[in-house]
Amino acid sequence: MKKTIYRAALIAMMASLFIINVNLAASEMDDRIESTAKESYVFKTYLQGDDIDIASKDGAVTLTGTVAEETRKTLAQETVASLPGVISVDNKLEVKGEALPVYSDAWLIAKVKSTLFFHRNVSAAKTEVLAKDGIITLRGETASEAHKDLATEYAKDVEGVRDVKNEMTVVTAATKPDEKLKAKKMDAQVKPGEKTMGQKMGDVVDDTTGYIDDASITAMVKTTLMYHRSTSAINTTVKTNEGVVSLGGKAANAAEKDLATKLVSDVYGVKSVVNNMEIETAKAATK
């Protein structure tokens, strides 16, 4: 009888210790998720001015607070969802102010800015975006004609944009200081009827030479594909390991697959891209 009681007590004690250890492990994981999110490149760079609270319970994360733009709400969710140990994300973030009318000039400016700011060969911080009746004007400085053409290409790929006028100035090491000053003064002039953008997300980023974590890279890649018209409908999975991005899912054709590789390769922090997407037309032909 005593042995039975002793055995039962021992089992109960071991079970209690197991539960305690599990709870401690879960608590440590939740703390790690919250701290890692706050220390991520995206949160410290793009979301630094937003009021975001992160609460994790057994890997289920809830985001509350306010952000300046819809893009930031998406970016916060994608970053947290990409962290190790996260099971789900309940995004309760609210966007300050009223929603912009779809396809309005202000809406187009926000979308163009969102399309530009993750690409390393297009400096959103030095690019002014204006819009009038669906026609986008780009101003500012760029490092080369190739970068200028790329900015035009990216801006044209935003849904609702009718045309793009690229008035950006190519500034190289050979450009004289007085010419650079003149270019900046010209960029500061806004034509009547045009709308421009204030301090939005693309304006806070200029120096991106530091380390960028995998969760932030994954979030930026997903958001980039989402905001480009040519890739927004692609069912794409994204995984990042030490800066190497692997794409999965389906593409309508080879051109769409190649475009996804091109866009992702130009995202900050991406070292290389492994595109494993299946081409639907090719798959259908084999049946």
In a domain, 227, yes or no: yes
In a domain, 249, yes or no: yes
Q: Is 119 helix (H, G, I), strand (E, B) or coil?
A: strand
Both 7 and 83 in a single domain? Answer: yes
The model's confidence at residue 203, banded by pLDDT at 50, 70 and 90, is very low
Close Cβ partners of 10 (under 8 Å, ≥ 6 residues apart): none
Both 178 and 239 in a single domain? Answer: no
pLDDT above 60 (res 139): yes
Q: What is the pLDDT of residues 152-179, one digit of tens each?
A: 999 999 989 999 999 999 987 665 455 4
pLDDT above 60 (res 55): yes
Domain C-terminal end among 180, 204, 228:
204
Query: How much is the average pLDDT of 40-69?
Result: 95
- Contacts by residues 106-109 (CB-CB < 8 Å, ≥ 24 positions apart): 106/131, 106/195, 107/160, 108/134, 108/136, 108/158, 108/160, 108/161, 109/136, 109/195, 109/196, 109/197
pLDDT (0 to 100) of residue 173: 66
The answer to whether the beta carbons of residues 130 and 163 sit under 8 Å apart is: no
Neighbour tally for 139: CB within 10 Å = 22
In a domain, 185, yes or no: yes
Residue in 80, 99, 230 with CA at minimum distance from that of residue 155 = 230
Tally of structural domains, the chain: 3
Domain C-terminal end among 68, 95, 122:
95
Least confident interval from 136-140, 154-158, 197-201, 277-281: 197-201
Domain C-terminal end among 204, 237, 257:
204
pLDDT (0 to 100) of residue 255: 92
Structural domain of 233: 214-285
Both 199 and 264 in a single domain? Answer: no
Both 191 and 147 in a single domain? Answer: yes
The model's confidence at residue 199, banded by pLDDT at 50, 70 and 90, is very low
In a domain, 209, yes or no: no
How many whole angstroms separate alpha carbon 107 and alpha carbon 129? 11
The model's confidence at residue 193, banded by pLDDT at 50, 70 and 90, is very low
Residue in 177, 169, 158, 67 with CA at minimum distance from that of residue 128 = 169
Can you give the CATH number for the domain in which 231 is found?
Answer: 3.30.1340.30
Both 138 and 90 in a single domain? Answer: no
How many whole angstroms separate alpha carbon 284 and alpha carbon 287? 5
pLDDT (0 to 100) of residue 214: 97
Distance of alpha carbon 275 from the chain centroid: 19
Exposure of 194 by Cβ count < 10 A (0-12 exposed, 13-18 middle, 19+ buried)? Answer: middle
Q: What is the pLDDT of residues 56-113, one digit of tens each?
A: 999 999 999 999 988 899 999 999 999 999 999 999 999 998 888 989 999 999 999 9
Both 32 and 59 in a single domain? Answer: yes
